[in-house]
Amino acid sequence: MKRGTAVVWCMSVVGLMGACGGQPEQTPAPGSGDTVTTATQQLVPAPPTPFDSYLYIAGNLSVGSAVTGNTGTSAAYEGYKLTVPAHTQVALEVTHLGTGMGVDTGLYVYGPKTPSGYGYRPLYGDDDSGYGELSKLPLATLDQAGEYLVVVGWSNGLAKNYRLQASCVGGACVPNPSPAPANAPVTLAAFPLEGNLQALVNAGNAYREDMYSFLDRYDFAWPYSTPATLNAAAAAVLARSEYAGYRNDPSPDTYTYAAFQSRMYLQFQPLHQAILDTYGEDAANAQVKSYFREFSTGPNGDNWRTLNIILLPVSRHVLVYEQTAHEI
């Protein structure tokens, strides 16, 4: 069986920072005299909810800019309002430049805001992926237009400044984007699957024992005016070791998204529209490439598996939907 769905907030993506919106924070070179000190502070978890009673809204944050705050003398959180158009992709970082020595941060994104607030579950979060014990999100894809809340927290009140930077890395925030270079690669970052989609997968998997499916979500930063290609998305997926078994399919099939629905096991077909609704994608834009493999594990042990790579080019997501069936 395939491994379970990953439950990480984000994975580092090489080359995402600095696509636009200012220069990203750089790690000092070896021998520069500016060294990283780690392993001295506790983790900074997501803030408890609801926020209203204690979370200080310090102001507004714009893509392509930075704000400065101060930790004060005790552990706390501060929030910044970030308003963006749909399908904006940003990098968020508490930078070494402008942040006091020894400050330990956490960084979380909520939203978009509704009449009920920003929601209780972070869309993205990080503790120590930046310089030292500072926080960094190389890629946050904000599917819906609206106001988001970016929260900085710290475990140690040192009465020192911190600097929060928001940079555009793709999508709707890129001014005057240029066409994608020929054969531009797609670089994938894994994220947790949204709860509504996972619930549909779980419901389908409870339907019968001999048919099972998995759905994984990947994002890719894309600052270009022309969309990523399905072949580039498929190459990025097959380069991952967990999908290596499908590389030998000599003739993978491609489908429009509408045609793909009939290729899904019946109990999983509610996912078809739910994927589009979750990410705000038009079915006319979505494309699917499917790879097949068959193998036997012994008498009455035939297995059939299909790897379906779903490219959502406007919202910059790749969904990997794997169907499995076996003899019983």
The per-residue pLDDT for range 28-86, each reduced to its tens digit, is: 443 444 444 444 557 899 998 888 767 899 999 999 999 999 999 999 999 999 999 99
Region 283-289: what's the mean pLDDT?
98
Where residue 266 falls among pLDDT bands split at 50, 70, 90?
Answer: very high
Average pLDDT, the chain: 88
Note if the bond before 223 is cis, omega within 30 degrees. Answer: no
pTM above 0.75, yes or no: yes
| 286: pLDDT strictly greater than 60 | yes
pLDDT > 80? residue 107: yes
18/169 Cα distance (integer angstroms): 7
Report the percentage of the chain scoring pLDDT > 90.
Answer: 78
Q: What is the pLDDT of residue 303?
A: 87
More confident of the two residues 260 and 155: 260
Question: Hey, how many other C-beta atoms are within 10 angstroms of the C-beta on 67?
Answer: 19
Which domains does the chain show, CATH number per domain?
56-171 (2.60.120.380), 189-326 (3.40.1000)
Using an 8 Å Cβ cutoff, are 180 and 247 in contact?
Answer: no
Task: Measure the CA–CA gap between 184 and 138, rounded to whole angstroms.
Answer: 19
Calculate mean pLDDT across residues 184-204.
Answer: 97
Position 300 scores a pLDDT of 65
Q: Are 253 and 287 in contact (CB under 8 A)?
A: no
pLDDT per position as a tens digit, 196-238: 999 999 999 999 888 999 999 999 999 999 999 999 999 999 9
Residue type, 249: D
Residue 95 has pLDDT above 70, yes or no: yes
Whether pLDDT at 15 is above 60 = no
| Rounded Cα gap, residues 218 and 102, in angstroms | 33
Judge whether residue 7 has pLDDT over 80. Answer: no
CA distance 109 to 101: 24
Per-residue model confidence (pLDDT) at position 51:
80
Q: Residue 323's closest CA among 196, 191, 197, 210?
A: 210
- pLDDT computed for residue 35 by the predictor: 41
102 DSSP 8-state letter: T
Quick one: average pLDDT of 121-139?
A: 96
Task: Give the H/E segment covering residue 305.
Answer: strand 302-312
The answer to whether the beta carbons of residues 142 and 112 sit under 8 Å apart is yes
State mean pLDDT over 95-104: 96
Output the DSSP codes for 159-206: S-EEEEEEEEEEETT-SSPPPPPTT-----EEEPPPHHHHHHHHHHHT
Q: How confident is the model at residue 296 (pLDDT cuts 50, 70, 90)?
A: confident
Closest CA to 224 of 181, 185, 187, 177: 177
Secondary structure string (H, E, C) spanning 112-143: CCECCECCCCCCEEECCCCCCCCCEEEEEEEC
